[in-house]
Amino acid sequence: MDGLVNEQKNGDISRRIIHVTGIVQGVGFRPFIFQIARRYGLYGWVFNSSAGVQIEVEGEEKALQGFFSHQSPV
């Protein structure tokens, strides 16, 4: 699994757009991302694309750091 992260900031709120490639479809990856984002009070979306999975998540920087500290189940 590989990923690319784009970052945007607006005051105390940051946004990350992540493109994940590899075997990430049909393995529960989207529900995993949803659960972790909720745990940290983050907002955004995650969807399958032809190249893998795209994630957009935003919130406070500390919450984003917590989100990115989790290991993927795949």
Known catalytic residues are 30, 48
CA atoms within 13 A on the CB side of 54: 7
CB of 36 closer than 8 Å to CB of 67: yes
Helices 29-39 and 61-69, axial angle in degrees (round to 10) = 140
